[in-house]
Chains A and B, each alone.
Chain A
Amino acid sequence: MGAPVIAATALSTRTGRKILIGATLVFLLGTGFILMPLIAIPFAISGASATANQPVSNTELPSVSGEWGYPLAGDYAKGRGFGYHPVEGCSYCKSDHRGYDMDQPCGATVFAAGPGRVTVAGAYFDYGNAVVIDHGGGLITIYGHMQWESLRVGVGDEVSAGTPLGAEGSTGRSSGCHLHFEVRDSGVRIDPEPFMANLGLPLK
């Protein structure tokens, strides 16, 4: 009973009202100051961990020629080329390589090579985490072995040369980080080297 009476008495005077308002403000400011880290820190950690699998920031964009461009920006090391490339010391391994391997450090951004629509974004046979782009006219390109949870596109997305697809990784049948770049024309795998060279984008 005492507290409401005291409060009512205090509110009846100007000084009392000032003291109450001041005390309330100090309480609110203090509470906000103390609670802010409890709210901000979990969100900050969540944001940081969620972005950990994102592609390495790549300020460089791939070179383009017309509507097409390289699937990686900057220099890269050539891995296995297209065609007969047996796996050293393994008679139970396929000797035929269906694409063109390009090596940059793990996490490097992989880009769409040309305009089209994404038809696959996710696990894709031995390509691991992959993106398949339908460029129309029976032409498709495949970008294999990207890191899990790194894809920036989804099925149905329209992309163009230079659209970031994901981060280079080693998922699926791969023994090290690299991009498996594959081109199919009317369902037939073709050599990416002459294909890209004809577009003014010679590979190594």
Chain B
Amino acid sequence: MMMSQSSGRRGVAWAIIGGIVLLAGVVAIIVSAVLARPTPTPSATSRGTASADPTTSAEPDPDADGAVVDPTAADRGWTPEPITTDADTYIRAALEAASTFDTTKSTREEWLDYLDTWFTPDTRFTSEADQLAAMTDSQTELRQGVVLPQDEWDSLAGEDGRVVAGVTSDITDVPATDDESGDMSIGTADVTLSFTRSDGSGGETSYGDHVRVSVQVLCGMASVPTPDTDQRSGDCKVVRYFTEPLEP
């Protein structure tokens, strides 16, 4: 009888010990899992970088009457093409258009297709075929040697980025060579590019770049307007963007 009681107590004691070990194991697993979680580090704290850009979309350049070819362009983050015969006004808008976009509102190809509508054939060539070929070459040059490359676009798009370009200097305007009409000119100016992108913590960070760029425009009766718009022959159009600034 004494043996039976002693054996029973031992059994209960072992059962209690087993239970405690099991509970300790559960607690140890929970504690180790909690400790394995990394301590959050501070982020986005530097020098007011996590601020929203006040210029969140491209705005039409204030022209004399403000007429633009496609008023909806600004809604897509693009610079609207002004309807004007004033070379200076048009050059300013054209230089800004080549680096004003919003990767959340359009693809790079959609933006470039839109920029194609700014072009007009190069009237320095005599045949219509050569004029169109020159325009196609200029549009290819725009994609391959002027605007932000695809990989940089993709990088920006990965962080919901956008860019607004603004001309910050006077336009240096020179006549185009071999242009008998005198309606063609090359404008060069300093352009500030305001980049805005997400900062990884729900905010935005902005920064600026400065470039000097050139564009050749035609403001004369030979210009071909964008079809089905208020633009007319004689209004300014783009002939070519250059891969480097052309100074006089």
Tell me the complex Cα distance, A93–B145, Å. 10
Chain B neighbourhood of A155, CB < 8 A: 42, 45-46
Stretch at the interface among A31-39, A105-113, A191-199: A31-39
Tell me the complex Cα distance, A172–B206, Å. 10
Beyond A32-B23, A91-B241, whether A153 also contacts B211 by CB under 8 A is no
Cβ–Cβ contact A93 & B30, under 8 A: no
Contact of A125 among B147, B191, B207 (CB under 8 A): B207
- Indicate the size class of the contact surface on chain A: 35 or more
Pairs A-B, 3 closest by C-beta atoms: A43-B33, A123-B199, A148-B200
Stretch at the interface among A17-25, A66-74, A180-188: A17-25
Cβ–Cβ contact A93 & B26, under 8 A: no
A201 within 8 A of B: no
Chain B neighbourhood of A18, CB < 8 A: 8, 12
Chain B neighbourhood of A153, CB < 8 A: 41
Cβ–Cβ contact B50 & A90, under 8 A: no
Please give 6 more A-B residue pairs, beta carbons under 8 A apart, in addition to A36-B26, A91-B242. A29-B15, A43-B29, A91-B145, A92-B98, A120-B46, A123-B205
Interface string of B16-43 (1 = CB under 8 A from A): 1011001101100110011011100111
Nearest residue (CB) in B for A119 is B46
- 7 A-B pairs within 8 Å (CB atoms) are namely A36-B25, A40-B26, A89-B243, A121-B42, A121-B45, A126-B209, A128-B200
B109 within 8 A of A: no
Return B82 CB to nearest CB of chain A, in Å: 20
Chain B neighbourhood of A171, CB < 8 A: 159, 200
Cβ–Cβ contact A122 & B146, under 8 A: no
Cβ–Cβ contact A46 & B33, under 8 A: yes
Chain A neighbourhood of B108, CB < 8 A: none
Tell me the complex Cα distance, A125–B18, Å. 59
Interface positions, chain B 146-181, Cβ under 8 Å from A, are 146-149, 151-152, 154-156, 159, 165
Nearest residue (CB) in B for A28 is B19
A173 within 8 A of B: yes
Cβ–Cβ contact B23 & A44, under 8 A: no
Cβ–Cβ contact A29 & B209, under 8 A: no
Cβ–Cβ contact B197 & A151, under 8 A: no
Tell me the complex Cα distance, A91–B15, Å. 79
Nearest residue (CB) in A for B99 is A92
Interface positions, chain B 18-76, Cβ under 8 Å from A, are 18-19, 22-23, 25-26, 29-30, 33-34, 36-38, 41-47, 49-50
Chain B neighbourhood of A152, CB < 8 A: 41
A63 within 8 A of B: no
Tell me the complex Cα distance, A172–B148, Å. 15
Return A83 CB to nearest CB of chain B, in Å: 16
Beyond A90-B145, A123-B46, whether A32 also contacts B19 by CB under 8 A is yes
Return A102 CB to nearest CB of chain B, in Å: 18
